[in-house]
Every structure is written in structure tokens, then in C-alpha cells.
Structure 1
Amino acid sequence: FFIALHDLGKADLRFQLKASEAMAAAGRDIVKDRDHEIALRDIHSFDHGHAGIAWAAREYRAWLEEDDADQAIWSRWHVWLAAVCGHHGDYPQPAFEGLTGLEADEALMECDRVARQELVHAFEVLILRPAGLSLQDLPPVCSLPARALLAGFCASCDWLGSNTDEFAYRAPDLALGDYLRAQLNQIESSRMLVRYGLLAPAKDYAGLAALLDTGKGETLRGVQTLVDALPATPGLTFIEAPTGSGKTEAALAYAWRLLTAGVADSVVFALPTQATANAMFERVEAFAAKVYGQANVLLAHGKRDFNAGFQQLVERGQRRTRQGDEEASVQCAEWLASSRKRVFLGQIGVCTVDQVLLSVLPVRHKFVRGFGLNKSVLIVDEVHAYDAYMYGLLGEVLKNQWACGGSAVLLSATLSTALRDKLLAAWNSHAAQEEDAPYPALWHATGGATHPLTVADEHRPPRREVGIECLRLTGAYPDEDLQARIVSAATSGALVAVVVNLVDDAQRLARALREHLRDDPGIKVDIFHARYRFADRQDKEAAALAHYGRHAPRTTGRILVATQVVEQSLDLDFDWLVTQICPVDLLFQRLGRLHRHDREHRPLGFETPCCTVLT
């Protein structure tokens, strides 16, 4: 009922004057200077959403035939109307300067007043009475999270309903009820919600093993063995396990279970950086094909238009086969791809975490993002990697997910007890076991005390010892002796990573190492940091994955000089790691790129993992 009132403010002369030809076609031939003196700027700037709630505040007593002296009724109507009348970006207030007192014919303004009242009563007959309700029934309390959910849903519906390719303007030649039924039949028969990428049924859950490369001997390990023990109910789930232990597959498998159970409609995967989001975007394409067969995979961050893979999906989704069906199994509808506001409305959204946090910041259409999140399984990777301000915002996101019955999965290799407790509190939960929490483990919070699931001994990752060499060097910068060792390691076939904390140091070191290898062009020195033009950074990122990734050829040695961009969510595997000193949680992340995968052969001298830390 309230969604039907979202455009109530259009029953106002100022809005109708925006399209005088349509008004003339409807039999209202209104002439300036004869019928009104409304300035052109007032017509162009007229906000019908704001006006809708303002007119309702002024006229609702007449609609309901109630006095409402204490405004008990309006206190309920106000929240519902603010949600639907704010579908153009903000929640409007009922105060509207210049709402009345127009310089226009009194008969025209009375005609608009009657039209608004008749609209309200028509929707009462069409929507409320079949449900056994009337205007006199008090609406239920609408909480703030519910208001945001309703506003996002209404805005999404409004975007679709305003598409004149689907819903052409027509004369009012049908009764309102007949028109509504005809449009509902058209929406269903044309599969409109499917065509616009909003609906796609998930296939039955086939187990986590379906996401693994069993042909190469991959089997369930560590926390992956616990996924099927989690309840398929809304909640907050933590997956805490070492780097490279399959947390991503565990999270996606659990999301698949929730999709199959009808607990969620879609998946949103948030990552700390654009580089990690781009890498994850490629990984979820295969997941989308297995879970949906044909789905909308969307990417959202500030430089997504430079991502070649995403643009190819957009173009592929615009093509049609002779049968008129989408050509690709992973298809990104143009309508969804046209705005980062809509990234969470498809089946799978991959984004940087800031896109998620915008749902609780004072920005326009934040509730559209919130609506998409509430209907999704929200997965946040590297949840330890943010600052105090971002954790405050993430806590608000989790509160909204909990209030709206949503789900969230948080991944980390180095999550502190204090941070876990803070995030659990946002879900109205707490750890039942404060001391000596197990690791690795899964936590599933639904409110109240939460107990972890522990990994059975036979599935625990093997104890991993890393040799640590500490070198005290001027400026923690590799001297000539260490540079010579790095070159020698690469010459012997090792893939070596040198991680420094400043771009300037990375550039200087790469130049020095290339000078060392001037007479050996077969050994390459690559550099990867965040200070490139984005188009160049895309190439550098792809090259790093191609030369040092899981399936990279390991026939010759190679050196990668990088900054912090390599330490999280990128599937890189080095034989030797040299790193400048850094906070210990980040050091663990960097160690996650060292001997990341089991291999039968490593270069001589690098059979066991060793990290050199520069101080």
C-alpha cells in the first residue's frame, strides 16, 4: 500500500507542468498567465518525492476521517512514507517550503487535492481490503533497518517500473485493478526480473568438493570439513584459518548452502583492495557457473571500468543467440552494470569493502546498497585488515544485516580476540569461550552465546615451521650482499619475493637488481605497487599472478619486488621471501605467500620455507 503511494507528489500542478503535452492529452489544457503564474524554475526544481510526504502530512486526517490530535497515527505513517517517498535518494521530511499558496487557479489546486484523496482510497480498495485491512487500521511499527530495506526495495522497483521500454505510457482505458493484473502477467510472461538480472534460482548444493579441482588431487581440508556442520540459517559466521587453507572455498560453499535453503538470494564478496577484488572476480566466475549456470556477476570499485574481464562480461551479456537467450553462462545485465549502486542486486557482487560501507554512510541511495546486502550472503575477506573507523562502519553494516534477517561471513587468518568480540557484539552475540579459543575454527552467531566449531585433529593443517633470518641493515634496505644472494637464488631457479614498505624503495631496489642481472637477461625482475596508472596496474597485477601464481610455470627463477599490495588475497607462491619489518599480523599475511602450495620439487636450498626479515 505504501509503495503504491511512492509517487503521490506527482498529483501536484507543478509536477504536471513538467510535461504539458501529456497533461493536454489527459484533457487538462493549462495555459500560463491565464491559469497559473508558477515560475519555470519552481517547475523544474519541484521534488515530487518530498512533496508526496508533505501533502500526506497535511491531508491524511481527511483521508482517514480521524482527528489524530496526539499524532499517534502520523508517527506510524511518517516512517513508512519517508521510506517510499525517498526513492530518489534521501528520506524526506514533511516540512516543504512553498507547498501551498501557489499562484494558480483554485479549481486546479482543488482538482489535485481530490486526485490525491481518490488515489489513496483507490489503493485502499485495491490493496488493503483484500488483506482484510482499511485506512483506519494503524500501520505496524517500522524500525529504522526495516525502513531502509523498504526504501531500497521501492527504489529498485521504481527504476524498473520507470522503464518505458517495458511499461509504455497509455490512456487510462482500463480499470485500475485490470491494469495491475495485466502488468503482472506481462512481467511474469516476459521473465522481466530474470532478464534484468534480479532473479536466478540456485542449483541444489553439491558439496564443497564441487568447488575444488579434484582432478589435481584437491580434497577437503581444515575448516572446509566443517562447512556442512554449520546450520543453514541466517547468522554471522567467522572462518579463522591460516593463509592458503581454503577459506574462500569454504565461504562460497556455505553461501551456496544458504542460497539453496532459500535463506539468501545472492552473494556479495567484499575485499580490501581493488587488486584483490579483481583477482576474486575471476575466481567467482567458475563459482557462478556451478551455482547458477547463468548468473549476473558484477564488479564494483572506483576503477572497475578498466577491468577487461568485467567489460567482456558486460558486452557478452548484451549479445543474444538466435533463440533470444543470453549467450554466456555468466552474464552481466547492462541495467545492473550501469551503476555501482546496483552492484548488489545481481546474483554475485564482487567489490571493495568501501562499497559495502557506503550502505551506512549519509550518501544518496545508500538504502539501495543496503537492500542488496540484506538479501545477500555478505562475505568480507581479510577482516583484520581495516582501521578503527572502518570497523565502526562495518559494525553498523552487521547490525543492519542482523536486524533484517541477513547473513554475513567474515574471513581472517589473524583475527584478534578483541576484534572478534566487537564484531560479535554487532550481531547481538558474544563468545561463550573467552580464553584459549581454538584455531583454526568456525563461529556461527545467531544471538547470545556462541561456541566455536573446532577442526578435527586429522584435518588440521600440518604444523608449518618457517625459518626466520633477521638482518639489521641501514634503513632496513637490502645491501649489496643481500642483493647478490637474491640474484643467486633466482639464478638457481627460485621465485623470490622482496616486499618493502615504500614505493620509492621498491623502484630503487628493482633498478639495482636489474643492474645485477644485466648480463643475464633470462632472469626477470618484476615490480608491483599501487602507484601506477590504473591501466598499467592491471597489467602488473595480471603479470604477477601469471608468473608467481598457483599454476605459474616454474622452469626459471624470477624476482618480484613489491609493496603491501601482494600480502592479501592474491594466490601467489614464492620459494623465498625477503620482507622489511612490519606489524606482526601483516607479517603473517606475507608469510602466507611463502610455500603457499605443496609442491614435489623446490629449488635446491629452498626445500623448506625461509623468510628473511629486514630491520
Structure 2
Amino acid sequence: MWGKTTRGQRETAYQPQQELVFHPLLLHMIDTAEVARAIWRRALGASLRGRWARAWGVDVDSAEAAVACLAGSHDLGKASPPFQVKWASGATALQNAGLRFPRPIGTAPHGIVTASELPQILSAMGISRNVADHLSRAVGGHHGALPAYHDTELVSEVVSEVGDDDWKSMRKELFGRLAIVEDADPVLATLATLGDVPAWTLMCLAGLASVADWIASDLDSFPTEGRLDGALQGTLPSYRLHAEQRAQAAMDRLLWTSPPARNGRPAFQQLFAFSPNSLQQQIGELAVDLGTPSLVIIEAPTGQGKSEAALYAAHLLTKQQGRHGLYFALPTEATSNQMFRRVVRYLSKAYPGYPVNTQLLHGHAALSAELEALLGRSGSLLNPQGVGDEGATNEDATPNVLASEWFLPRKRGLLAPFGIGTVDQVLLGVLRIRHFFVRLFGLAGKTVIIDEVHAYDAYMITLLNSLLEWLAHMGSSVIVLSATLPAKRREELVQAFARGAGISEAAEHDHVSASYPRITWVTEGRPPRSASIPVDDTASRLIRLRWVSESDDPQGLERLGQSLDSRLLGGGCAAVICNTVAEAQRVFRALTPIFTSQDAGDGAPELELFHAQFPLCQRQEIERRVVSRFGKVGSEGVRRPWRAVLVATQVIEQSLDLDFDVMVTQMAPADLVVQRAGRLWRHPTTPRPAGPNDAELWIWQGHPDQDGAPSFPKGDLRVYDEYVLLCSWLALRNRDRLRIPDDVEGLVESVYSESDCPNGLTSEFSLRFRRAREVMLRHRDLYEVEAERRVVRVPAGAWELFMGERQLSEPEDDHVEVNAALQALTRIGVPSITAIILQGTENGPWFIPGEHRELDRNHRPDVDVVKRLLAWSVRISHHGVVRAMSGREGLPPSWRQSPLLRGCRVLLIDEGGLGRAGDWIVHIDPRLGLVIEDATS
């Protein structure tokens, strides 16, 4: 009974080079079982192993044997006519042995056959049919979709799909031999006492079976052993020993193992090379008192070291709770890149001398120089057939922090012990896409840090609530970070985690009494609690507000520039934050005649533009330059200019450690205004120019109406709700200063309390306010409904996981930041596409800008070409261009074979940087980035 076939790609003792050879099904099942054991022992923490064993009512060793055997049984459905007939030589041998192939042969996928037929075998061992059904469906879903009830019932009703009694006997014999060789017979009988199994164990079993199958399918690690002209050498027990050794070697090559537990509690300063502040001290004291699982919400102003506090807490939780890693989720690729560097530094100190497997996870992670350096130290690539991707190499890396190329694809990336990347990667774990359970399995038992939660909209928050419920259900701990979090949202997070953890005490929890800044936590066996964080003197800041209105005349922006010029006569660094790329480009153009110096004292221009719509290679270079110019003075590579102005979008709003002397911001939601203000006078050690003794925030608004309320550009209203903008203006309009942290909580609550329009304003404004509120509520309801439709809920009973609605139809491509369809699953907003900028014409040769080698459109590009292509990718959200390019064919068919390029489009430009998309002219300008103009005007 064959399980795998391949053309002989290597010389073996059994067959010549080009002979078609095979691997017996039973041996592949043993291979997979042994890989599952290796993952269980080496990659899962003691906390998760113990929790799983208790859930199944057995000890840890027995749970290991049961999990290994069940994972190995994933391909039992291959012992059926629809699968065995696929190899003619094998089918002929089986016919000669007496097995009958009915006519016509069925087409049932072997995973569904496993889910249909394995329950009868398990039930015969005394396991209840309910539990047997659930376990079988979990392992039968190893190709990405959990078999639904109607799928397996359909197969069971058609005898030709699964074969006659001889085939049934064969399947029973295969499983019986697997159970014996894996010492699982007595353990499986013990499971007969279970009336049900928790849904989280089924998710982990499905994920573990899938991953073990991928690794066991690697021909280098598990070579073919079959031949049709003779028996295998040795016995099954002896083969199991070989499979065990191969599984261990594969895990070594993958660098997939949890770091060892260290004795003693490391000092904060030992891990981060500076003394802890009051927040970090308090978090350290709290972490040692938490149970499993736990949720911690940290609310504090920007610049207070929340990231280091979270890493320290995660480190202590890992040590005391037997956890096995963490994932740090951030809102954008840029913030993920910067956090990756910080986490790598932490890991090198936390696990000195130990090879720590770390991943950067987002659509363009392969272009990260830091990740590439780590990959250069990771050894050879384990690349199973059908699931591998090309990798990359470089020369140097932090000595003990390494990366394994096998984890690069996003569906596998969360399996790595340590990961840093976009929040989209974890949100995909609760969405109905293929292999969502692999992502959940990768997060089980880990500590997950979720940063900048205040930046998420109603749709993402609904997904996040479901994710928290699943993480708690699986025994994971979560640390949520936010500068400004409305009380209602905080309460939703607490309740979601408590539901997953089964913490009934949280149901009575309807408010948090501790004042901002605060820590809120919920852990098993206790009601939610909160505590205020003592504020260090350096954390308290007074920010003076100045309102700036842009007139209708063209000189409005020029006057803004002149005011900035006057403010910076004595030097200093200013930021102008705009809400859209088009607005940032308009401001940059207006300020260019005013700030003309090409050397701001650090060798770079006085005026610079930074937004997300530069080609990636240019954007990464700008990001590096921005951090080196406006980062923390004293940090490696930071050289502060004497006088400079950075015009930017929200790319500098979150997680980037930047420090400015004065800031201009377009009107934005009040919590984001506070977030932006966190980049003002951020570090007390930064030398300030002569002038005002306090930080200055200029709030720049459109031409006000008779109530003084600003008008909002159409582009702004595509980004933010008009209702929230109006509430923010009402909350800020009479202020001339902002005290941080004292004013933060009251300001945020006044915006998000969803109250009616205050008295004393004109009827026209009241009408505008009420209409905006109605639109906001309608959109919020729609987003929540849409999120609920797509999400995989924690089921009341395990059977709900296998209802027909769980059939997965979304695209399998796992590059969420590149693939527009997946992008729309994790974020509701303006549609966008990823375009690759190339020089050339539709029918002529194509070139990467700046290169003179013609690209081959007929062959799949190699790793180097893929990287160079992605370096010239840009995310486009302009509605007209997106609509025009979405109607195009996209990439050449050969290029779509690359998982890093799938989902991209090609935008062709001439040598002057000009291209066309429908009615729009697209220009790639070295200073402005992507410029889009109407070709019809």
C-alpha cells in the first residue's frame, strides 16, 4: 500500500536513478507519528503538554503516544481505491494481491476518507463515536480544511469511494500496526472514558498533524523505502527507531526547539541594558504572580517602555509557566521591522549561547536585512515537496539568534518559537482560510504581545476579541499594549479572554477603577483586577496646543511653512503629520521653496517626505534615515540634524522611536492626536534648541465653518469616521494645553462615549453631528456583522467545528500584506493592491528600474530576482488606479508560481518614471514617491 511516489532523484540501494519508486503508506504514517513526537517533546512547552494531557484525562507520556498515533493516522484514507489507483504500478500490484478496484472509481479526497473511516476503527477500541468522530476529522483536515459532516456522510454512503470489506480490513490492519509500533494501544483505550474533547485540542491536533506530515514528506529527511519486487528489510520497531532518528535530525535542521528553562529570575537590566522604570518594575512583580492563562493590558503614554515591559513579563511567564515562546504583533510592516531589531537584541541576552529561532512575519519580510543576516546562520533548508519556498542567505548575524528558512511562509511562520510581525498574521488564525488551525497551533501555549490596540477599528477589534477567546481557550497568555484605550474596548478584551479561559468571575466585572496609566489583568481563579502605574517625572509632559486653520486661498500652506520657518530659526526638528499620502505630497511641495538647504547639519536635506507609497527599496532607505536623524540621541547611528522638517503620514505615528521639538498634525481622532504627540520631547536627554520651554503641537484644520468646526478633506473621511473627528474637535477645541498623562483618559472617554451633540451649537452643526453619528453606528454594525461571518468562533461543543459552514473557500495564498483578498479579510478599509514597478511596455522587454538586464517572463524567477522585484513593489490604495489595475491580468503565469509574488500586479513605467492606469497617470518621483494624477483633466 503506497503512500508517496517520486521519480528517483538520488541513487539508493533499492533502485536505479530514474526508476519510479515509492514509500509505503505504513512507513509514512510512522514517519509522521515520530515527527509529531519530536514536535511534542522539543517544540511544545511543559505547560501546553500538561494542559493537553489533562484535557484528555491521561498523563503526559500517554498523551504523547495518543497524539503521535493519531497524527500518523492522517493518511489512512490513502488506503482506498480513489487514491491507490493514481499509481498504475501500485494499483496493479494490489490487484494481484487480491484487492478489488470498483468501476467507476470514486474521487473522494483521502483526508475526507480518513475522517469517514477512522471513527469506526477508534469506536471498536471503545472510544465513544462522538469523540472518535472529532479526532478523525481533526487529522483528516491536514490539507487545510476540516471535513464537514456532510462530506464524510456522503463518502460513507458510497461504498465505491472507500472500497469493500477487504479495504476496510486493510485500513484497520494499518492503524492497528501503527498503534502497536507507537505504543498507543493502551492509551487509546483509556480515551474511552472521554465524553467529549475540548475544541482547542482538536485545533492543536489538526495543526500538529499537518505540520508533522509536511516534515515527514521531505525526501531528504525521509527517503523512499519501497520496492515492488521484494519485502522491506528489518521490522517495524526497527524502522520506527530509524524514523525517530530522522525526525530528531529534521528538528535540528529546522532549529525548532524551545529554549531551555533558566534557573533564577533575570534582572531587567540584564536583559535590556538599562534600569527599569516604575512601569517595568510593576509588570515584573505582577508577572511572577500570574497563573495560566493570563491577560495583561498595559495602558500608558508613548515612550514609557511598554514594549520592554511586555518582553520582560513574557520572559517571566515563559520561565514560570513552562511556556515555549512568544509572538509580538504590530500594526504595520514598518513597526514590525523596528521591533524585530529590538526583540533580537533581547533574545541574544535572554538566551546567551543558545540557538534561538526567530522569525519576521509580513509580506516583505524577505527583504529585511536583519532577517537575511539571521538566515545566513541557519543552516540548510528543509523543503518538503509542495509546501516549501526559496530562502535567502547572508554573511553575519547575532551569534545565537538564528532563523530557519522553512518557517518563512506565513502559515508556518507562527510555529517558530519566537516571531515578530504584523497583527494580520495572528488574526488569520481565527478566519476561515485554509490551514487556519496551523496558525492557532503555532500560538498555543505561547505568550502573545499585541501592540497599538487603540489603532484597530471595529472590524479588527471583533477579530481580536475572537482571537483572545481562542488564545485563552488554548492556554496562551496575552499582553495588550495601548497608549489610549477607551473603557468599553478594554472591557470587551477582558470579557473575551475570560470567556475563553472559563473565568466566570469576569462576568461581574463592568469597570476598572484604577486611574490612567494602568495595568489590568485577568488570570484563572481570580476576578479581573487593575492598578495604577506610578508616573515617573520624565513621563509627565506639558504640551502646548496651537490651532492653525488653512484658508481657502493658495497661500494657506505657504503661511504654515513660514510659521514653521520662524519657529525653527534657532534650529530644531519638526514633524508635519498628514492623514493621506496625497495631502503629505501637497504639503511637501508647498514647503519645498521655504526649506531649501540640502544639508541640515547631518548631511541630509532640511526637508524630507516619508509615507507608505514609495517603492519598497526607497521606503526602507527613508525609514532608516528617519530613525537615524530623529531617533533617540545616544543610540547607535543616531545623528540629530541642526534643523529639519519631516513631512509624513501615519507611518511615524506608531512604534517608531522618534523625537521632535515641534509638531504639526492634521485634525485626527483625539487618541491618535495624543499618540502623535508622544513623538514630542520624547526623550529628556535630547538637546533642545533655544526657544519655548514646552513641547508645541499645532493642530492644523481645514477652513472652519461658522461654528468654528473644521471641514475635513474627502481623503480624511476615507480614513477616519467623521463622527469621531467631530467628537475629537469638540474635546480639543477649548484647550490650549495637554497634560500627559493627566488629561489622556478624560479626553479619550469624551470622544468614544458615543454621546449626543452638546448644547450651545448651531442647528446646522447639530444636524451634521447626528448624521455623522448615524453613519458611524451603521458602519460599525456592518463591520461587526462581517467579522462575525468570517470568524471561526470558539464552539460551545466540538461538533460545531465540523458544520458545513466551516468549509473554507478563501484563497490559500498566505501573504496577507501582498494578497488583496486576504488583506480584505483582516482589515476593512480602502481597497489596495501591491504593484511591482517595472520599466518597459506591454509587449516589449521589461527591466527592473536602474538595471539593464531584461527579465524573463517565461520562467519562474529565482530568489535573487524575486527580491529585486519586490524591492520595487508599492502598495496602491487610490480607488481609480486600484480599479483600473484590478481588471488587468496581473503577473506572467510563470511568475505567479512564486509565493512571494502571487497576488501582485505589474505597473509599467517609461524611463522618465511615467506610467498609465486607466484614466490615471502614475509617476514615480524620487522625492515624492508614487504621484497619481487624472489624465482627463
Question: Normalising TM by the smaller chain, what interval?
Answer: 0.7 to 0.9
Q: CA deviation at 1:149?
A: 1.7
Quick one: structure 1 residues 245 and 328, their matched pair in 2 at CA, closer, same or farther if it must change by over 3 Å?
same
Quick one: structure 1 residues 576 and 253, their matched pair in 2 at CA, closer, same or farther if it must change by over 3 Å?
same
- Asked whether 1:17 is paired with 2:85, we answer yes
Name the CA distance, whole Å, in 1 between partners of 2:161 and 2:437: 36
What residue is the counterpart of 1:406 in the other structure? 476
Name the CA distance, whole Å, in 1 between partners of 2:200 and 2:401: 32
Contact 1:203–1:291 under 8 Å retained in 2: no
**Structural mapping, 1:356-367, within 5 Å:** 356-367=426-437
Q: CA deviation at 1:87?
A: 1.1
Name the CA distance, whole Å, in 2 between partners of 1:128 and 1:284: 41
Q: CA deviation at 1:341?
A: 0.6
**Structural mapping, 1:56-67, within 5 Å:** 56=118, 59-60=120-121, 64=124
- DSSP-derived class of the 1:134 partner: helix
**Structural mapping, 1:6-405, within 5 Å:** 6-21=74-89, 27-28=93-94, 47-56=109-118, 59-60=120-121, 64=124, 73-93=128-148, 94-97=152-155, 100-102=158-160, 109-127=164-182, 131=186, 133-134=188-189, 137-171=192-226, 172-188=232-248, 190=249, 192-202=250-260, 204=262, 205-214=265-274, 219-230=275-286, 231-234=289-292, 235-292=294-351, 293-318=354-379, 328-337=399-408, 339-405=409-475
The alignment's TM-score, normalised by the length of structure 2, stands at 0.58
Name the CA distance, whole Å, in 2 between partners of 1:547 and 1:95: 64
Identity %: 31
Q: Which amino acid in the other structure matches residue 540 of structure 2?
A: R
- DSSP-derived class of the 1:410 partner: strand
Contact 1:202–1:291 under 8 Å retained in 2: no
- DSSP-derived class of the 2:542 partner: coil
What residue is the counterpart of 2:620 in the other structure? 538
**Structural mapping, 1:439-588, within 5 Å:** 439-447=516-524, 448-456=526-534, 459=536, 462-474=539-551, 479-518=557-596, 522=600, 523-550=605-632, 551=635, 552-588=638-674
Q: CA deviation at 1:511?
A: 1.7
Q: Which runs of 5+ in 1 are unaligned?
A: 67-71
Name the CA distance, whole Å, in 2 between partners of 1:382 and 1:315: 32
Name the CA distance, whole Å, in 1 between partners of 2:678 and 2:653: 8
What residue is the counterpart of 2:712 in the other structure? none
Contact 1:494–1:556 under 8 Å retained in 2: yes
Quick one: structure 1 residues 181 and 262, their matched pair in 2 at CA, closer, same or farther if it must change by over 3 Å?
farther
Contact 1:232–1:261 under 8 Å retained in 2: no
Q: CA deviation at 1:100?
A: 4.1
**C-alpha RMSD over aligned residues:** 3.1
- DSSP-derived class of the 2:360 partner: strand
Could you tell which deviates more after superposition, 347-356 or 378-387? 347-356
Q: CA deviation at 1:97?
A: 4.8
- DSSP-derived class of the 2:613 partner: coil
Q: Which amino acid in the other structure matches residue 415 of structure 1?
A: L
Q: CA deviation at 1:526?
A: 0.8
Q: Which amino acid in the other structure matches residue 420 of structure 1?
A: R
Quick one: structure 1 residues 362 and 554, their matched pair in 2 at CA, closer, same or farther if it must change by over 3 Å?
same
Name the CA distance, whole Å, in 1 between partners of 2:205 and 2:137: 10
Quick one: structure 1 residues 22 and 279, their matched pair in 2 at CA, closer, same or farther if it must change by over 3 Å?
farther
What residue is the counterpart of 2:725 in the other structure? none
Quick one: structure 1 residues 568 and 224, their matched pair in 2 at CA, closer, same or farther if it must change by over 3 Å?
same
Name the CA distance, whole Å, in 2 between partners of 1:36 and 1:563: 65
Q: CA deviation at 1:460?
A: 6.5
Q: CA deviation at 1:469?
A: 1.2
- DSSP-derived class of the 1:78 partner: helix
Q: CA deviation at 1:415?
A: 1.1
Name the CA distance, whole Å, in 1 between partners of 2:306 and 2:673: 19
Aligned pairs, number: 585
Q: Which amino acid in the other structure matches residue 358 of structure 2?
A: V
Could you tell which deviates more after superposition, 309-318 or 544-553? 309-318
Contact 1:433–1:451 under 8 Å retained in 2: no
Cα-to-partner distance string for 1:223-249 (whole Å, 9 max, x where unaligned): 101122122533011111110000000
- DSSP-derived class of the 1:317 partner: coil
Cα-to-partner distance string for 1:563-609 (whole Å, 9 max, x where unaligned): 11111111111111111111110001001111111126211115421
Q: Which amino acid in the other structure matches residue 441 of structure 1?
A: R
Cα-to-partner distance string for 1:60-119 (whole Å, 9 max, x where unaligned): 49x7188xxxxx932221111111110110101313459745499x8xx55432210112
Q: Which amino acid in the other structure matches residue 54 of structure 1?
A: S
Quick one: structure 1 residues 289 and 546, their matched pair in 2 at CA, closer, same or farther if it must change by over 3 Å?
same
Contact 2:514–2:531 under 8 Å retained in 1: no
Contact 2:115–2:139 under 8 Å retained in 1: no
Could you tell which deviates more after superposition, 439-448 or 281-290? 439-448
Quick one: structure 1 residues 125 and 319, their matched pair in 2 at CA, closer, same or farther if it must change by over 3 Å?
closer
Quick one: structure 1 residues 54 and 271, their matched pair in 2 at CA, closer, same or farther if it must change by over 3 Å?
same
- DSSP-derived class of the 1:254 partner: helix
Q: CA deviation at 1:139?
A: 4.4
Q: CA deviation at 1:435?
A: 5.3
Q: CA deviation at 1:185?
A: 4.1
- DSSP-derived class of the 1:364 partner: coil
Name the CA distance, whole Å, in 2 between partners of 1:326 and 1:37: 59
Contact 2:631–2:658 under 8 Å retained in 1: yes
What residue is the counterpart of 2:496 in the other structure? 426
Name the CA distance, whole Å, in 2 between partners of 1:370 and 1:299: 17
Q: CA deviation at 1:181?
A: 3.5
Name the CA distance, whole Å, in 2 between partners of 1:573 and 1:358: 34
Quick one: structure 1 residues 65 and 377, their matched pair in 2 at CA, closer, same or farther if it must change by over 3 Å?
closer
Quick one: structure 1 residues 421 and 302, their matched pair in 2 at CA, closer, same or farther if it must change by over 3 Å?
same
Name the CA distance, whole Å, in 1 between partners of 2:528 and 2:282: 16
Quick one: structure 1 residues 155 and 256, their matched pair in 2 at CA, closer, same or farther if it must change by over 3 Å?
same
- DSSP-derived class of the 2:276 partner: coil
Name the CA distance, whole Å, in 2 between partners of 1:244 and 1:202: 32
Name the CA distance, whole Å, in 2 between partners of 1:610 and 1:101: 77
Q: CA deviation at 1:153?
A: 1.6
Name the CA distance, whole Å, in 2 between partners of 1:103 and 1:419: 51
Quick one: structure 1 residues 598 and 51, their matched pair in 2 at CA, closer, same or farther if it must change by over 3 Å?
same
The alignment's TM-score, normalised by the length of structure 1, stands at 0.87
Contact 1:148–1:371 under 8 Å retained in 2: yes
Name the CA distance, whole Å, in 1 between partners of 2:217 and 2:189: 28
Q: Which amino acid in the other structure matches residue 247 of structure 2?
A: I
Q: CA deviation at 1:358?
A: 0.6
Q: Which runs of 5+ in 2 are unaligned?
A: 1-68, 227-231, 382-395, 499-505, 702-937
Cα-to-partner distance string for 1:529-585 (whole Å, 9 max, x where unaligned): 122223322222222212211142124211100111111111111111111111110
Quick one: structure 1 residues 430 and 64, their matched pair in 2 at CA, closer, same or farther if it must change by over 3 Å?
closer
